[in-house]
Structure 1
Amino acid sequence: MHRRSAAGRPPSRRLLRPLAVAAALVVSVAACTTTGPGTDSSASGDGPQRVTLQLQWSTQGQFAGYLAAVDQGFYAKRGLEVQIKEGGVDIVPQTVLAQGQADYAIAWVPKALASREQGAAITDVAQIFQRSGTYQVAFADKGITSAADLRGKRVGNWGFGNEFELFAGMTAAGLTPARDVTLVQQQFDMEALLSGEIDAAQAMSYNEYAQVLEARNPATGQLYTPADFSVINWNDTGTAMLQDAIWASTERLSDPGYEDTTTRFIAASIEGWAYCRDNVESCRDIVVKAGSTLGASHQLWQVNEVNKLIWPSPAAGAGTIVPAAWEQTVRVARTAVNADGQTVLTRDPDPEAFTNTYVERAIGLLKADGVDVVGAGYAPTTVTLNPGGS
């Protein structure tokens, strides 16, 4: 997805992000011989424009909207032939974009801003996830219902830039993380929590949290239920950071052809997410068909939970970058200190770090076509998880 495993540490059995995928998967509207990114960003000839999108991780429900836009022909409708490239353990999507190896990339805002601070000329052009999906999960009997309750506990975190919401939350609760808790390097699964090695584990709402609900409670022989756990949601503490966004090349946005392509790409992508909002099971099937290695019930959970991070969208429409959420992300990125004493950012990003120009144009196109870009009446579905997510 968006994380990298610890160097030299073998992946565990429950790691749901295959490390050997690299860029193995390529999904396109039609089979063809492709040219390099950036060569087809303006209309030319009679065929569709070829565009490359770099994902953060392997095929899963986190990216269902883009896969649906391919499957349902939304990109084709906008005159685009989109090639979707999987991420992997050694792939940093914003770097791939900055180096000209993709036309667009999906990346978390703080990580992309850190790359921008280091010289990557990239711009957030559509903020797809409006809310953070990061949790800290504990067994209910541990009595951990807030960041303050982590005092004296063994607290797992992934590191690699995924820990800053947790550290900001603990700091806001009056804890000094390096002194008041025992920090444990957590693998990308929930086994350490389930075995009792740690008291609270980092989890994504759409992935690792489902893992504990797919596991059997040895005391009952049945699957665990949400009542068996407590969850700290960083959206509730004021330390959440913006996550999945569509990033474009800052320099190429001065080219009218790339600007037009960006508008149409965003419009089709948002229409894909609107389709997944209204057709959860269909999008589960699209993800499975695209080559996901995860189980069907786990993928249905993912699509449903990711929808909660997108819908309802701001009144201006899906993908809109809300200044208050952006400013909170920057504040946490500049002030939250991890166990190494590091912050994500050392200075405020420049004004070109984000723009609503293209998403506003895209929303105009979608409204003209009668697409619901807000989802004010959105309600999540109920998902029944199977053992192991099958």
Structure 2
Amino acid sequence: MTHELLRRRSVLGAVAGGGALATLAACSQESGEPAAAQPSAADGTTTTLRVALGWIKNVEWAGLWRADDAGYYAEEGLSIEWLQGGPNAPTVMASVAADSADLGIAAGQQSLLQSIPQGNDFVVVGSIFQDAPGSLLSLASRPVRSAADLKGQKVLGQEGTQPTIDALFRLAGMEPDYEFVTAAYDPGPLVEGQGVAYTCYLTNQPIILEQSYGLAESDYVVTPYSAMGIPQYASLIFGQRAFLDGNRDTVVKFLRASVRGWADNEEDPEVAAKLAVEKYGVDLGLDLEQQVQENELQIPLTESDLTRSAGMFRMDPALMAGEMYDALRAAQVTDLPDADSIIDMTLLDEVYANGTTL
């Protein structure tokens, strides 16, 4: 197996969209009201923070589970209400815009970006994953590592991923030239030879190839979109500007505790996997072995040159406005917000005021 990045989420049932192309809007409401304070046995007050997750309560949120279980949020005087996402839940953008959640963690960057010009005054304060795990999966006998390898070929994928494939061609200076074949979230059609590539999440379908089809790592190739010129942030933490302005200290505390949890997760990926299976996602029927494997493989996604020097969750507005926006425009995404105006790293500056080791 070849993959420069990693695999991502375990899909249980239908998943909305894929990668770069779901247009999601939400009606905005102004909310500068403080997060709810409740009595606490520890110091008299505990602030309840409602956090909407962009997916189900699986190991994708490993660092958050570690922080919550270890009491890091409680140490900051916070009680977190985790609002589960998934195919039957409102989008995180809709939840935050409607004041059903104080903060949201958007699994995909593009849907969040597209919701902002539609009347939502959202500000991003950090990104858990430094690159999204969307990728192309192919067999080692016919590897796909560039758009040129797709020319005139059949590409298997979920509806909504076609513009991403088109963008791969355009970024390579080519007109799109391929046949798109709709496929479900099982890569079986790839094994059967129905296409040369399959759109996937790096944390899901490669594991299925091994567990369900008996392929070895050397039997398949995973090429991340980022390796072909389409980088994106993922699991972006955001809120309404008015809420962030009115509750800055609370959000800083949330970020600080969350960073500690993700740092712990790097030390032992099995702990968070067990928490997902046995506690936070206990009703989801998650498989422990798969969750451990997913967590091991997603950890490098939290790292970049920027985070290694300046701390986890950091974002670079210039990278978003440059290479990331170029890729989105190649996918014919328009009306993108000004990156400098929607990214605020000053809260993380407070988190790391005394250094990047918390």
Q: What is the TM-score when the length of structure 2 is the normalising length?
A: 0.83
Count of aligned positions = 322
Q: How far apart are 1:366 and its partner, in Å?
A: 7.2
Distance 1:117 1:279, change over 3 A: same
Q: How far apart are 1:295 and its partner, in Å?
A: 1.2
Alignment equivalent of 1:250, drawn from 241, 257, 266: 241
Q: Is the 8 A contact 1:148 1:174 kept in 2?
A: no
Is 1:362 the counterpart of 2:351? The answer is yes
Is 1:202 the counterpart of 2:199? The answer is yes
Q: How far apart are 1:207 and its partner, in Å?
A: 1.7
Is 1:261 the counterpart of 2:264? The answer is no
Q: Alignment partner of 1:128: what SS?
A: strand
Larger relative contact order (CA 8 Å, sep ≥ 6): 2
Alignment equivalent of 2:12, drawn from 10, 13, 17: 17
Q: Is the 8 A contact 2:190 2:198 kept in 1?
A: yes
Give, in whole Å, the separation in 1 of the partners of 2:105 and 2:159: 20
- What CA RMSD, in Å, does the superposition of the two structures yield over aligned residues? 2.4
Instruction: Specify every segment of 5 or more residues in structure 2 that has no aligned partner in the other structure, as ranges.
Output: 1-9, 16-30
Q: Alignment identity in percent?
A: 22
Distance 1:357 1:265, change over 3 A: same
Give, in whole Å, the separation in 2 of the partners of 1:143 and 1:306: 23
Q: Tell which deviates more after alignment, 290-299 or 72-81.
A: 290-299
Q: 1:138-149 to 2 correspondence within 5 Å? A: 138-149=138-149
Partner of 1:169: 168
Q: What is the TM-score when the length of structure 1 is the normalising length?
A: 0.76
Distance 1:331 1:174, change over 3 A: closer
1:47 maps to a residue whose letter is: T
Q: How far apart are 1:302 and its partner, in Å?
A: 1.3
Q: Deviations over 1:143-197 (max 9, x none)?
A: 423221011111123244x5554432222223322xx100122323323223333
Partner of 1:229: 220
Instruction: Specify every segment of 5 or more residues in structure 1 that has no aligned partner in the other structure, as ranges.
Output: 1-14, 21-36, 217-222, 338-342, 372-390
Q: How far apart are 1:41 and its partner, in Å?
A: 1.8
Partner of 1:98: 97
Q: Alignment partner of 2:57: what SS?
A: coil
Alignment equivalent of 1:84, drawn from 82, 85, 89: 82
Distance 1:363 1:120, change over 3 A: same
Partner of 2:7: none
Higher strand share: 2
Give, in whole Å, the separation in 1 of the partners of 2:166 and 2:263: 34
Partner of 1:346: 335
Partner of 1:126: 126
Q: Deviations over 1:305-349 (max 9, x none)?
A: 21110035341110111234322222222x223xxxxx3332443
Give, in whole Å, the separation in 1 of the partners of 2:167 and 2:327: 7
Partner of 1:68: 66
Q: How far apart are 1:123 and its partner, in Å?
A: 1.1
Q: Is the 8 A contact 2:140 2:219 kept in 1?
A: yes
Q: How far apart are 1:19 and its partner, in Å?
A: 5.2
Q: 1:229-378 to 2 correspondence within 5 Å? A: 229-255=220-246, 258-289=247-278, 290=280, 291=282, 292-311=284-303, 313-327=307-321, 328-333=323-328, 335-337=329-331, 343-349=332-338, 351-364=340-353, 367=356, 370-371=357-358
Q: Is the 8 A contact 1:154 1:184 kept in 2?
A: yes
Q: Alignment partner of 1:364: what SS?
A: coil
1:16 maps to a residue whose letter is: V
Give, in whole Å, the separation in 2 of the partners of 1:186 and 1:167: 17
Q: Is the 8 A contact 1:113 1:353 kept in 2?
A: no
Give, in whole Å, the separation in 1 of the partners of 2:349 and 2:157: 37
Q: Alignment partner of 2:81: what SS?
A: strand
Give, in whole Å, the separation in 2 of the partners of 1:116 and 1:212: 37
Give, in whole Å, the separation in 2 of the partners of 1:41 and 1:83: 12
2:288 maps to a residue whose letter is: A
Partner of 1:154: 154
Q: Is the 8 A contact 1:40 1:50 kept in 2?
A: no
Partner of 2:19: none
Give, in whole Å, the separation in 1 of the partners of 2:354 and 2:162: 38
Q: Is the 8 A contact 2:124 2:343 kept in 1?
A: yes
2:325 maps to a residue whose letter is: V
Higher helix share: 2
Q: 1:41-52 to 2 correspondence within 5 Å? A: 41=35, 46-52=44-50
Distance 1:158 1:363, change over 3 A: farther
2:335 maps to a residue whose letter is: T
2:129 maps to a residue whose letter is: F
Distance 1:175 1:185, change over 3 A: farther
Q: Alignment partner of 1:270: what SS?
A: helix
Q: Deviations over 1:216-261 (max 9, x none)?
A: 3xxxxxx211211122222222222222111111122221xx1111
Q: Alignment partner of 2:129: what SS?
A: coil
